[in-house]
Chains A and B, each alone.
Chain A
Amino acid sequence: MMSTRAEKASTVARDTTRRIAMGKRKGIWKEQLFKYVLILCIVIAFVTLLALIIHSAWLGRGRLDLNLITQMPSTLNPETSGMQSALWGTVILMVGVLVTVVPLGISAAVYLEEYADTERWWNRFIELNIQNLAAVPSIVFGILGLAYVVREGFAFGPVAYAGSLTLAMLVLPTVILASREALKAVPDSIRQASYGMGATKWQTVWHQVLPVAVPGMITGTILAMSRAIGETAPLLLVGATTFVTFNPDSAFAGAYTAIPVQIYQWASRPQPEFRELAAAGVILLIVVLLIMNSAAIWLRNRYSRFDL
């Protein structure tokens, strides 16, 4: 009796082992294939990016010196021409975008996520439109900016902040959508706990919800700024001049240009010197972008001290 039971048990065990082993052998190539397809996707994305950077760096290697950021652009002396005015233009533009889009985007997200009653048709209408706005081509925002920021409406004229405002409109949906996701990810138990303590809605949002959502919001802002810094088309429409040999007076006065606009202008010239400059400009743009994003990531890490 005992022995038959033990035999039976060992047969079952052997059978199970065999089945597991076979199953493993059968499924394993699929598993491996899937993994390699995923790796391939990463490699394609990475190699493309790397190829672009290396190509630009190689082409512009002769011009990657301090002249690039200390000299003004010049059509007469391409050998000594730099892009100081474009660098300053981009910095001023980006600061303008940041101070505009962050408060606007986060406030809109907080309203939609924490206050809005989604049963109301106007709130659903706003939601739908924000999603649609994210898909509108940037040139359309350029036309909008030209009409209502530069000429009429705000009527700033072709100054840097007009460019900032246009870019801010362009990336606002990105910031709102990312911030809403960040707010959605805040566990409801935290809100409940705060209300249970006798906190008001505002106190709950300000002290509990926002701090938890900040890292996600910063990520959204990084994405938005990365998109804004490379935009050329809307800037051409709202008055970023392609050739400026002086820095803008301020965000609200004086002609300005930006790095991508400057690259566009150089790249369309026939002389090889300018093409090299354009390549060097691409590298400069990437460096500015990396500095900007590193600052944001540093800020994000400071805020995510308490992990959920």
Chain B
Amino acid sequence: MTSQTTTETTSNTRGHVPPVMAARELGVYYGDFHAVSGVNLDFNRHEVTALIGPSGCGKSTVLRSLNRMNDLIPKARVEGEVTYHGQDIYQPKIDPIEVRRRIGMVFQKPNPFPKSIFDNVAYGPRVTKMKVDSMNDLVEQSLRRAALWDEVKDNLKGSAFGLSGGQQQRLCIARAIATSPDVILLDEPCSSLDPIATAAIEDLMTDLKQEYTQIIVTHNMQQAARISDTTAFFTAGVDEESGKRIGRLVEYNDTSSIFNNPAEKSTEDYVSGRFG
């Protein structure tokens, strides 16, 4: 798990299409705490990338730094580069609001707004002042894309809290795609859902691959194996210089390689369930 191998494995850009997003020597601090460092990743267009690893390895931190959600945490600091279509999103002239409009996010716990189902989906287009011909059509389209339309079409004015957990999470995905983002970040979207709801979300993610680049943090290795094209394995280790625990990217490759033929011993141990 030296930085040498990290660079080797992550420089594996698949094909010649430039990646939609990339992280270069990305590190994140919370105050004095160095949460994760030296992350190099390429996220390819219309692929699902899974970030896996034990708790505290910094995978959620990396995910949140991809659309500048870490800005909201006081004292959080980012070093290195995160590029979106080649543009570093941490440049001072970049508006984080604009970044989040293009890179949507779905959270661990379903968090619909305390409003109607319709207003939940319409909120994004409204606040971002999107030019919309018909909000009704946009809401319907988004809910259809999130495979939720048939379940809620007669109750669009009803409270989003009346939905089940799985439905709420699909509503959150509908809400995220209503603003037509380019990339969707999903932070353990199924961790509070039952297997049936999880299967529905996974099917949905596979569907959405046609239009969106998706990056998912998951604790469920079967889930990563099922839905992702590429997988990045993180772990936390003691830094030799500072002697503190710090999150690192160990290996990044095709999902099949990570699961069947990992280059690193720790990756193999983790994916085979021997640790973590």
Question: Given that A196-B100, A197-B124, A199-B127 are known contacts, is A211 also in contact with B107, CB under 8 Å in the complex?
Answer: no
Instruction: Report yes or no: B161 in contact with A308, Cβ–Cβ below 8 A.
Output: yes
Instruction: Report yes or no: B176 in contact with A211, Cβ–Cβ below 8 A.
Output: no
Instruction: Report yes or no: A197 in contact with B127, Cβ–Cβ below 8 A.
Output: yes
A117 contacts B by Cβ under 8 Å: yes
A197–B97 Cα distance when bound, in Å, is 9
Partner of A198, one of B97, B111, B160, B172: B97
Q: Which of A187, A192, A208 has the most CB of B within 10 A?
A: A192
Instruction: Report yes or no: B100 in contact with A195, Cβ–Cβ below 8 A.
Output: yes
Q: Which of B100, B113, B128 has the most CB of A within 10 A?
A: B113
What 0/1 readout, one digit per residue, does chain B (101-144) give for beta carbons within 8 Å of chain A? 11011010101111100000001100110000000000000000
A212–B112 Cα distance when bound, in Å, is 13
Instruction: Report yes or no: A195 in contact with B72, Cβ–Cβ below 8 A.
Output: yes
A189–B187 Cα distance when bound, in Å, is 13
A117–B113 Cα distance when bound, in Å, is 26
Instruction: Report yes or no: B113 in contact with A190, Cβ–Cβ below 8 A.
Output: yes
Instruction: Report yes or no: B159 in contact with A196, Cβ–Cβ below 8 A.
Output: no
What 0/1 readout, one digit per residue, does chain A (277-308) give for beta carbons within 8 Å of chain B? 00000000000000000000000000001111
B67 contacts A by Cβ under 8 Å: yes
Distance of A251 from chain B, by nearest CB (Å): 37
B179 contacts A by Cβ under 8 Å: yes
Distance of A127 from chain B, by nearest CB (Å): 16
Which residues on the A side are within 8 Å of B101 (C-beta)? 197-198
A202: nearest chain-B partner, CB-CB: B127
B126: nearest chain-A partner, CB-CB: A207
A47 contacts B by Cβ under 8 Å: no
**Count of residues in A whose CB is under 8 Å from the partner chain:** 24
Partner of B176, one of A190, A194, A196, A308: A196
A307–B160 Cα distance when bound, in Å, is 10
Which residues on the A side are within 8 Å of B175 (C-beta)? 193, 197
**Count of residues in B whose CB is under 8 Å from the partner chain:** 29
Instruction: Report yes or no: B176 in contact with A195, Cβ–Cβ below 8 A.
Output: no
Distance of B95 from chain A, by nearest CB (Å): 9
A192–B112 Cα distance when bound, in Å, is 11
Which residues on the B side are within 8 Å of A119 (C-beta)? 74
Instruction: Report yes or no: B179 in contact with A117, Cβ–Cβ below 8 A.
Output: no
- Please report which residues of chain A, range 182-214, place their CB below 8 angstroms from some CB of chain B when the two chains form the complex: 187, 189-200, 203, 207-208, 211-212
Distance of A252 from chain B, by nearest CB (Å): 40
Partner of B114, one of A191, A200, A211: A211
What 0/1 readout, one digit per residue, does chain B (85-106) give for beta carbons within 8 Å of chain A? 0000000000001101110110
Instruction: Report yes or no: B123 in contact with A198, Cβ–Cβ below 8 A.
Output: no
Which residues on the B side are within 8 Å of A194 (C-beta)? 113, 123, 127
Instruction: Report yes or no: A198 in contact with B128, Cβ–Cβ below 8 A.
Output: yes
Instruction: Report yes or no: B105 in contact with A196, Cβ–Cβ below 8 A.
Output: yes
Instruction: Report yes or no: A197 in contact with B107, Cβ–Cβ below 8 A.
Output: no
Question: Given that A192-B72, A197-B179 are known contacts, is A203 also in contact with B114, CB under 8 Å in the complex?
Answer: no
A189–B111 Cα distance when bound, in Å, is 6
Instruction: Report yes or no: A197 in contact with B123, Cβ–Cβ below 8 A.
Output: yes
A199–B109 Cα distance when bound, in Å, is 20
Which residues on the B side are within 8 Å of A192 (C-beta)? 69, 72, 107, 111
Instruction: Report yes or no: A198 in contact with B161, Cβ–Cβ below 8 A.
Output: no
A192: nearest chain-B partner, CB-CB: B107
Instruction: Report yes or no: B124 in contact with A212, Cβ–Cβ below 8 A.
Output: no
Instruction: Report yes or no: A207 in contact with B127, Cβ–Cβ below 8 A.
Output: yes
A187: nearest chain-B partner, CB-CB: B111
Question: Given that A192-B107, A193-B111 are known contacts, is A203 also in contact with B127, CB under 8 Å in the complex?
Answer: yes
A211–B69 Cα distance when bound, in Å, is 23
Distance of A206 from chain B, by nearest CB (Å): 10
Instruction: Report yes or no: B107 in contact with A190, Cβ–Cβ below 8 A.
Output: no
Which residues on the A side are within 8 Å of B160 (C-beta)? 306
Which residues on the B side are within 8 Å of A190 (C-beta)? 111, 113-114
- Can you list 9 A-B contacts (CB < 8 A)? A196-B105, A197-B128, A197-B179, A198-B128, A198-B179, A199-B124, A208-B113, A212-B114, A308-B161
A contacts, CB < 8 Å to B: 117, 119, 187, 189-200, 203, 207-208, 211-212, 305-308
Supplied contacts A119-B74, A187-B111, 12 more A-B pairs, CB within 8 Å: A189-B111, A193-B113, A196-B67, A196-B107, A197-B123, A197-B176, A198-B97, A198-B100, A199-B124, A200-B97, A211-B114, A307-B114
